Amino acid sequence: GQQVMQIPQYQHVQEGEDFTTYCNSSTTLSNIQWYKQRPGGHPVFLIQLVKSGEVKKQKRLTFQFGEAKKNSSLHITATQTTDVGTYFCAGFYPGGNQFYFGTGTSLTVIP
């Protein structure tokens, strides 16, 4: 079946350091979404990327979609304790009927 790989599984950073999580697919995606889930909470939508090479920014968060639409990344600059949580990507394949979620990257920020 279709699969979106996400790395790393865990990341511990000192507050103020940067953080990046990556998602990869072996085949081309139509579009990709990113979600954040706080501990004990539910996933919350962050952004959707559709175009090849697309880059979007939300304050300290930068989202990229690869030129081949097979990979994507989320980069957080100068992490804060409020960034703690698990970040998921979710890819949609052409002709498909569902989003396939990555396994998530759990971010811990050490004050």
Partner 1 sequence: DAGITQSPRHKVTETGTPVTLRCHQTENHRYMYWYRQDPGHGLRLIHYSYGVKDTDKGEVSDGYSVSRSKTEDFLLTLESATSSQTSVYFCAISYTGGLNTGELFFGEGSRLTVL
- What is the Cα–Cα distance from 79 to 52, expressed in whole angstroms? 27
Whether the CB-CB separation of 102 and 3 falls below 8 Å is answered with no
Alpha-carbon span 110 to 82, nearest angstrom: 11
Among 19, 22, 65, 99, binds partner 1 (CB under 8 A): 99
Smallest gap from residue 30 Cβ to partner 1 (A)? 6
x/- binding map, residues 40-79, to partner 1, per CB under 8 A? Answer: -xxxxx--x-------------------------------
Pick the stretch among 11-19, 28-36, 63-71, 73-81 that binds partner 1 (CB under 8 A). 28-36
How crowded is residue 5: how many other Cβ atoms within 10 Å of its Cβ? 14
On the question of a cis peptide bond just before residue 8, with omega within 30 degrees of 0, the verdict is yes
DSSP summary character for residue 52: T
At closest approach, how far in Å is the CB of 68 from partner 1?
18
Binding site for partner 1 (CB under 8 A): 1, 6, 30-31, 33, 35, 41-45, 48, 88, 90, 92, 96-104
